[in-house]
Amino acid sequence: MRNLLVLGAAWGLLLAAPPAVLMAGEPDFFLLAALLGAALAGALGTLAAARSLSGGSGGLRALLGFGARQGLSGGAVAAGLVWVAMAVSIAGVSPAEPGGISALMRPAVFVGSFFVALSVFVYALLAGLLFGPVVGLLAVRLLRKGEA
């Protein structure tokens, strides 16, 4: 199970690192938080998808299903994290001024951060569908190795 967590975290980082580094420019706290969130989403997505492979044969159909489940679950976690982070960032809420939390409910903040989160979800879903079978093969090997 630990190997699946490492595989999922690496998968999440591999997906998120190139666009995050290109968009961030210089490393800062938000880049580190985004990469940690991507690792968490990748690990949770891989664990959720690996449950479907644990009793299966690992054929192409099962591996495509693995990719879809990984993209859906990991993408949902990543989109939720990005939605919250973007809403807080756009609204300008800070620990020094927590009274601005009501700004999170403004339509511009809510809708703007929603579309960013939606694009993250679609990106993770498509990556899961396209590259999930490769990660699924590694997951099948790790599952079989764990059973032996």
Query: pLDDT tens digit string along 8-43?
Result: 888 888 888 887 777 766 777 777 887 888 888 888
Q: How many CA atoms, within 13 angstroms, populate the side-chain half-sphere of residue 67?
A: 18
Q: Tens digit of pLDDT for each residue in 90-99?
A: 777 766 766 6
pTM: 0.75
Residue 130: which domain range?
2-147
d(CA 145, CA 138): 10
Q: Tens digit of pLDDT for each residue in 96-111?
A: 766 666 777 788 888 8
- pLDDT of 134 above 70: yes
Mean pLDDT of the chain: 80
Tokens of residue 102, six digits = 């009501």
Residue 135's nearest CA partner among 73, 50, 21 is 50
The label of the residue with tokens 């975290």 reads 9
Give the percent of the chain with pLDDT over 70.
88
Q: Tens digit of pLDDT for each residue in 41-91?
A: 888 888 888 877 766 555 777 778 888 888 888 888 888 888 887 887 777
- Count: domains in the chain: 1
